[in-house]
Structure 1
């Protein structure tokens, strides 16, 4: 076990606080993320064997963090929630929580074995070693908590916990890369989300009469006791084994080649994401003995930024907030799916989205009486349906703090959900990636016995 000794926390505020700024009102789709904060972790290896005072020194981290918050004032503010679940961020500059800790009895290899460059490793040490200080689920207190843990070898583990209404992967990457650079962001992050709302009063009046969009994961009419993605009661029925799996560039090429067979004229390419998600569906289905001809749903997060650029402005790419639009489709039940057919379905689900469809999606979440707490995920993600979060190519591995070098690993700190996986950021040098996958113990053993995870090696 790793012994973590925490020092007293301090509050870090903006070094040049903004005066007389109006509160920021989050979108309905952002407010729906209350149940699951974003808890991320970065591992920095002290390969040069520098001293504690010279490798990511505390005073440098704290000073640059204070300066960085000038450009992200919502993170140093405080949240209030109305009776309908809608969120407002007040730019009070009360600060973020910053804590340092020491782990005097373990080196980096305890957390991430590195005897081989492509070694897959157990996630247990990351999940059980108390390397994160989480923000409060009830949205009280600081909106962001940061923990810096220094290891026996003077390597550093940096964790950030924040409300998901601020942080999706793009926003988290934008923040940590700005902090690491110790420079103002170029271009500046923007908070105006009018591009995702109906632009005219006439259109806004239609909100109350909207029906559920075809691809909308959330359902305002679902039974309140129905299963949701984070239903605590289901996930501990059996021990969940969670591991990090490495996919090389050659494996990814093989997957794409196989998934690109027999493409219709309407699809001109299959992406790595399409192919890898399809592959993981087949892996999990076979490991869990799930029939894919039983009206199974495929869910995927859709980040709307790129879809807005053509109709709005390139500045939309720098919108700082969360876009947890979840699309879903049902696997056709009349035939057994293949890697290619699943990849095509996944590709078409997001490629047909437009700025108009996403505006309808967000408007639906605010429809009726406006109570966004009625929005429920319409899927059973622990027992039959599939959901993928992909964080590829968002530059989460690009944050270099002075002499720290680039992080050797980045990922979430608390993935212990069965049948759930995340595609992590691509490695800069060769585009290989890690996947974090959790399975119940008997499903995991079946997957290993049948060598399912690397079928296309």
Structure 2
């Protein structure tokens, strides 16, 4: 019997802690910032990001520039507190950020698609546990700088998801980079009232019926949240070159039938991945396949929200097709479905969502709100989180730009799309799947299915 091809395991960067510092801004007003209803959706989990640099970062210089940056990000140096109604606030007391310096006896390796690393945060379980955050002296931002033998550095960043979504996290890192390099940058807005004030129940029954968040009982919320952890997830990575994406988009545009119809490159890539993974999972024709799109709410809210707003401001859209229809539809038709799903994020939908979430917070049951689809149908759903426009490879902290970025495994099937290190119009894609599906996705046959529009197969 032929052996299964198993996706390569992530290597562990074996590091030893040399010193631990608390970085503070040096000033605090002691005020409280009450987190928004969107902030409360995430729970007190941390988002781990890891960046690999060929040149060595200066730890002391990083701490100095971080302290200056925290002057304009007082929430990051604060502590989470529980409100009387069950919500959360940040006490802006400048209690500080944890900055750990470590060393590794091994040289920097050529990390990338063929050699991936575990998020370099040290004891990850201890660092990211959400059970010791609220009401504790637990930093909301944790930095781990690992110096490699012979040069090169790994920068691990843990940020509380209660404070920031992906876009805001990268905005902070880019602003830290600009502060470190002596470049100007815009003050962020931390006023959550500006977002909460936009809540307004919709007059459209269809909008209210189609809300993507629902209130559930405490036990169902707990069981549904724990269920995905029963399956092991493995991440497979792959790269789509710019020419490959252009060929894919050309095919999709040619298959659109409505006059004036248009789809973006990311719409087409999302549609392609959904179709291929639908084939790979091989559900019976009548089983409904769900696609969840993580979308930023800022553009839908327009000028009503300050452009510099910093916090969680992310919604989700869902679309679905029977498995057989998903496999049988053309790329252009599925890309059109993706585009229509994104267009559902109207200002009316988002305002209604903010009002709905706010009503649960006022009743003291905000922790009972969850996505209407994602966890209940995790084995027939796919969540796509598109970071292709984020400045992942522009985080220069004095040693040039990173050459690789590492993404953590998630508890539900997820597609994470990022720019390439060269920012050349291509896309790096992280496919976080159940272990059997990840094994299949890593085989030659399914890699060919993922890349039929590559230079050697443009006619596919």
Change (3 A) 1:352 1:376: closer
CA contact (8 A) 1:228 1:376 kept: no
In the TM superposition, residue 60 of structure 1 has moved relative to its aligned partner by 0.4
Q: SS at 1:393's partner residue? A: coil
Alignment of 1:27 onto 2:26:
no
CA contact (8 A) 2:390 2:418 kept: no
CA contact (8 A) 1:390 1:424 kept: yes
In the TM superposition, residue 154 of structure 1 has moved relative to its aligned partner by 1.6
Q: Determine the structure 2 residue equivalent to 1:41.
A: 50
CA contact (8 A) 1:131 1:159 kept: no
Q: Determine the structure 2 residue equivalent to 1:50.
A: none
Q: Determine the structure 1 residue equivalent to 2:384.
A: 388
Cα deviation per residue 1:214-239 (whole Å; 9 max; x = unaligned)?
4432211478426988x4444444x5
Q: Determine the structure 1 residue equivalent to 2:313.
A: 323
Count residues in correspondence: 426
Alignment of 1:432 onto 2:429:
no
Q: Determine the structure 1 residue equivalent to 2:187.
A: 188
Alignment of 1:165 onto 2:176:
no
In the TM superposition, residue 273 of structure 1 has moved relative to its aligned partner by 1.6
Q: Which segment is superposed worse, 156-165 or 350-359?
A: 350-359
Q: Which segment is superposed worse, 364-373 or 280-289?
A: 364-373
Cα deviation per residue 1:244-293 (whole Å; 9 max; x = unaligned)?
21111011112212222333547642112211111111122122213565
Q: Determine the structure 2 residue equivalent to 1:397.
A: 393
Q: SS at 2:167's partner residue? A: helix
Alignment of 1:276 onto 2:269:
yes
Alpha-carbon distance in structure 2 between the residues aligned to 1:439 and 1:135 = 22
Task: Give structure 1 stretches of 5+ with no counterpart.
Answer: 47-54, 114-119
Alpha-carbon distance in structure 1 between the residues aligned to 2:377 and 2:243 = 30
TM-score (norm 2): 0.83
Q: How does 1:199-214 map to 2 (within 5 A)?
A: 213-214=208-209
- Match of residue 423, structure 1, among 398, 403, 417: 417
- After superposition, the CA RMSD in angstroms is 3.0
Q: Determine the structure 1 residue equivalent to 2:13.
A: 2
Alignment of 1:364 onto 2:356:
yes
Alpha-carbon distance in structure 2 between the residues aligned to 1:329 and 1:214 = 15
Alpha-carbon distance in structure 2 between the residues aligned to 1:63 and 1:192 = 26
In the TM superposition, residue 171 of structure 1 has moved relative to its aligned partner by 1.1
TM-score (norm 1): 0.84
Q: SS at 1:246's partner residue? A: strand
CA contact (8 A) 2:73 2:188 kept: yes
Alpha-carbon distance in structure 2 between the residues aligned to 1:286 and 1:195 = 44
Change (3 A) 1:266 1:78: farther
Cα deviation per residue 1:184-243 (whole Å; 9 max; x = unaligned)?
7532111124443345xxx86x69xx99734432211478426988x4444444x54322
In the TM superposition, residue 99 of structure 1 has moved relative to its aligned partner by 0.4
Q: Determine the structure 2 residue equivalent to 1:345.
A: 337
- Match of residue 145, structure 2, among 131, 148, 151: 148
Change (3 A) 1:35 1:251: farther
